Amino acid sequence: MAREEQDLSAGDARLQAFLTALAARPLVMGILNLTPDSFSDGARFQGLDVALAQAKRLADGGADILDVGAESTRPGHTPVPADEEWRRLEPVLGPLVEHIALPLSIDTYKAEIARRALALGFSVVNDVWGLQRDPEMAVTVAQAGAAVVIMHNRENVDREIDIVEDMLRFFERSLALAEVAGVPRTHVLIDPGIGFGKSRAQNLAALKATDRLKSTFGLPVLIGVSRKRMFGEILGAGVDDRLIGTLAANLATLARGANVFRVHDAAEHRAALSVYEAIANA
């Protein structure tokens, strides 16, 4: 019990550090994939030693929070059962809490996985289905006193719809679920879900609508475009050559009010955000 209370206290402290920083400056969320099939870095960080080393690199590069996931959600991915997802996560999560001082986010849409990670000292749940896939997720977040990233998603691409209006309706549903469960609104971020159930034109429209999302809901906006396929389509760039496109998109959304940037390249983004802030605050 003492160990559990210690872990929960550590998670609470990290959550408060995250929320305080969120109100003060743009934040970098470093990506730590423990998947064998991620589109960008699949199988590179599955072992404990390499995962901890990558987490340390991200932290040393200026990441404010780490987002840890063990199921790829790229287009065409194969869904992973909860027991397999936890098998990938379990050896790494505890050591991450012990050795990495940053707030930690669990990237999952399964309430069972979220509950276990939060019990170990994680502070944030990053749900790519915005509390709408697992009916227990909102309650799980509320009971743990955690923060949550509500991401817009669609089962299929429909090029005929107004994607921004679709996002607004989706977020209204998700926020209603969060409110009923008792998740404080101060613990909620929204994510337009770039690359999830959207055409290239809809991805660009969603990014352009960052300011509208911010003004409509009054919530922090997280942008996750790192190395996405749209940069390959726009620039003809391979996965390893998409940093410039990622930086450009993130700075464009920062100018529209975005708050958190989920990226593979923490150091480069911390440098770019620092220059942007220096100019903005001159």
pLDDT at residue 174 greater than cutoff 90: yes
Q: Are 1 and 114 in contact (CB under 8 A)?
A: no
CA pair distance 27, 13, nearest whole angstrom: 17
Task: Report pLDDT digits (tens) over 226-281.
Answer: 999 999 999 998 988 999 999 999 999 999 999 999 999 999 999 999 999 999 99
Task: Report pLDDT digits (tens) over 92-106.
Answer: 999 999 999 999 999
CA pair distance 219, 160, nearest whole angstrom: 28
Look up residue 219 and give its DSSP letter: -
Bigger pLDDT: 74 or 65?
65
Domains for the chain: give ranges and CATH numbers. 2-18+27-280 (3.20.20.20)
Please tell me the predicted confidence (pLDDT) of residue 45.
Answer: 54
Please tell me the predicted confidence (pLDDT) of residue 77.
Answer: 65
| 228 given a catalytic annotation | yes
Task: Report pLDDT digits (tens) over 145-161.
Answer: 999 999 999 999 999 99
Q: State what percent of residues in the chain have pLDDT above 90.
A: 86
**Which residue in 182, 204, 208 sits closest to 195, CA to CA?**
204
pLDDT at residue 213 greater than cutoff 70: yes
112 C-beta neighbours (distance < 10 Å), count: 16
Mean pLDDT of 2-21: 73
Selecting among 228, 242, 256, 270, the annotated active-site residue is: 228
Q: What's the mean per-residue pLDDT of the chain?
A: 92
Tell me the pTM.
0.92
* 24-28, 77-81, 82-86, 120-124: range with lowest mean pLDDT: 77-81
Please tell me the predicted confidence (pLDDT) of residue 36.
Answer: 77
149 DSSP β-pair partners: 126, 189
68 DSSP β-pair partners: 32, 106
CA pair distance 271, 90, nearest whole angstrom: 33
Task: Report pLDDT digits (tens) over 46-66.
Answer: 689 999 999 999 999 999 999
Selecting among 115, 116, 214, 262, the annotated active-site residue is: 262
Please tell me the predicted confidence (pLDDT) of residue 75.
Answer: 63
Task: Report pLDDT digits (tens) over 107-131.
Answer: 999 999 999 999 999 999 999 999 9
Q: Is 3 exposed, middle or buried (0-12, 13-18, 19+ CB in 10 A)?
A: exposed
Bigger pLDDT: 35 or 1?
35
